[in-house]
Chain A
Amino acid sequence: MNAVPVIIGYALHESLRRRVFLIVLVLTAAFLALYALGSWYAFDSVEEFAEEAPPLAGVDEETLTGATLLGLAMFATLFLGSVLAVFLTLAVVRGDAERGLLQPLVVRPVGRAALLLSRFAAAAAVCTLYVLSVFAATAAITYWAGGWWPDRFVVPGVELAAGVVVIAAFSLLGSVFLSATANGIAIFMTFGAGLVAGLLGQIGEVLRSETLTDIARAASWALPFEALYQDGLNAISSESFGLTSEALELGPFGGAQAGGPWLGPWTLAYLAAVAVVALVAFNRRDL
């Protein structure tokens, strides 16, 4: 496995030279600046509204605004992290083989498993660092703008990062079978399907429809990045109660489902299964 750090270094070097990191940093800086501006205005408006009209009895406006804003930021972080994960992995096997980049590496005494796992490790490390940084930055901005801090901070960040790592694993698996463009389309459609399932669950919560909620729950577990996102979203306002909690549920990022104690083990088992399928398929693939 001595080749693992070499391949990880190669993957990171590739991303650096392709200016993937530069583009991501510039776009993220733009997002954070806009988020800071939006958060400041949102808290300011809520404050003015509370001064002009009597506050809704039992609703904590600060929590309602902060949780809604950070929920939006978590959605954006998941999306941006997923874009990064997909662009780091979408062409690793078939895409690179079609361009002739893979063959000179595979024929070395590296091993296909080491090559695939190294590329996954590189993408997972970069995406985790990115997601944790952006989540921490948005939480800090929310606190700066309105003095609100999430009820739980570490778990939502880790779950968001884990969700993006699942996307990276999907993309790597897809790259064994699909060309880069087809893989990118497939992964983003899968990502969209997961988010739609989450929205369906929120609609089900509001309408008190068990069928919709069950469908959403099944879809979330089939695509665990969505279950992880939902659980993280749920955790940022997990200590809210009463009318504040009810008001949050009616919002665009309310009604998030808690994943429960099996979400972590399930995600690990899921990643292991994806890795096994990808390795078997890659080992059987003619290049």
Chain B
Amino acid sequence: MPAALATRRLGKRYGGIEALAEVDLTVDEGELVGLLGPNGAGKSTLVKIAVGLVRPTAGSAEVCGAPAGSREARASHGYLAELFRFPGWYSADEVLALHQRLARSTGGESERAELLDLVGLSEARGRRVDAMSKGMQQRLGIAQALVGRPPLLLLDEPTSALDPAGRRTVRALLEELRRRGTSVLLNSHLLSEVELVCDRVVILSRGRVVAAGSPAELARPRGVEVDVDGGTRRFPDAGRDDAPRLVADLVAQGEQIYGVRVLSTTLEEIYLSAVGEDSA
């Protein structure tokens, strides 16, 4: 079974500017991968190459085993662009109907109703796009990307225009997609969001992969904190495996234990450490 998305030594130059260099990235079937990086790191370029909007200058990219940009590849993915617009005179239902015809989806009206329900737009089915808020348009964009149940979904900043309730809807949607076995590449600046939903994280900086792995793999231990009668005792060199022994020792010393925390670096700290001065 080929990976949903696989890039090998992928590179892209815009004139003298190197946007991507030797990027190896894989999104396996049913995997949710977060793509992080500062502005200009090459995240959107990578996603655009995957969907065939941009041609690579080096390396290769494949979607479900087909070369990125080929008809077979385009039939296998759904895409939400960072900057997109639908014709203002279309209703939400008409937008989805148009994309159903283009994607040759046979889902019909029931698929449209299901998708609008999934993104919380059931009530706005007949509303024209130009009468929708930016957040509603973004949710409609996500629904459009899901037309035809593509095995791979590429979302470029899908929550940038959403309020906290909208972000929660998208998080729930991503979890639903994971349950369905859909692979997702999520390009986002919202680290907390990525940390909450993604199986793996890839961090780009200046067009290169500077860190990759699950949030747990990338995290570094920062000690153990134990809440006792007199306050909090810190053990900066201890790790998760040391916690039972530390608790046992404290109990043996007659301390009452109220809480134990194994500390590790947050995704934000990992990110800042990986991208260094680029994050400024």
**A, B bound:** yes
A105 surroundings in chain B (CB, below 8 A): 102
B51 surroundings in chain A (CB, below 8 A): 107
Chain B residue with Cβ nearest A99: B85
Task: Count contacts on B: residues with CB < 8 A to the other chain.
Answer: 27
A109 contact from B84, B89, B104, Cβ within 8 A = B104
Whether, in the assembled complex, B103 has its beta carbon less than 8 Å from a beta carbon of chain A, the answer is: yes
Interchain CB contact under 8 A, B87 and A109: no
Interchain CB contact under 8 A, B84 and A108: no
CB distance from B104 to the nearest CB of A (A): 7
Bound: A286/B47 CA distance, A: 13
Whether, in the assembled complex, B180 has its beta carbon less than 8 Å from a beta carbon of chain A, the answer is: no
Whether, in the assembled complex, A186 has its beta carbon less than 8 Å from a beta carbon of chain B, the answer is: no
Chain A residue with Cβ nearest B102: A108
Given contacts A14-B87, A101-B87, are A107 and B52 in contact (CB under 8 A)?
yes
**217-252 of chain A: CB within 8 A of chain B:** none
How many chain A residues sit at the interface, stated as a range, is: 20 to 34
Bound: A6/B99 CA distance, A: 10
A99 surroundings in chain B (CB, below 8 A): 85
Whether, in the assembled complex, A211 has its beta carbon less than 8 Å from a beta carbon of chain B, the answer is: no
**48-63 of chain B: CB within 8 A of chain A:** 48, 51-55
B79 contact from A2, A14, A107, Cβ within 8 A = A107
B77 contact from A14, A17, A106, A107, Cβ within 8 A = A107
Whether, in the assembled complex, B245 has its beta carbon less than 8 Å from a beta carbon of chain A, the answer is: no
B84 contact from A2, A3, A14, A100, Cβ within 8 A = A100
CB distance from A1 to the nearest CB of B (A): 11
Bound: A111/B75 CA distance, A: 11
**71-113 of chain A: CB within 8 A of chain B:** 99-101, 103-111
B71 contact from A10, A109, A287, Cβ within 8 A = A109
Interchain CB contact under 8 A, A109 and B86: no
Interchain CB contact under 8 A, B84 and A6: no
Interchain CB contact under 8 A, B104 and A104: no
Binding site for A on B (CB under 8 A): 48, 51-55, 71-72, 74-75, 77, 79, 81, 83-87, 89, 98-99, 101-104, 141, 144
Question: What 8 A-B pairs are tightest by C-beta distance, nearest first?
Answer: A17-B89, A108-B102, A100-B85, A109-B75, A100-B84, A109-B74, A286-B54, A287-B53
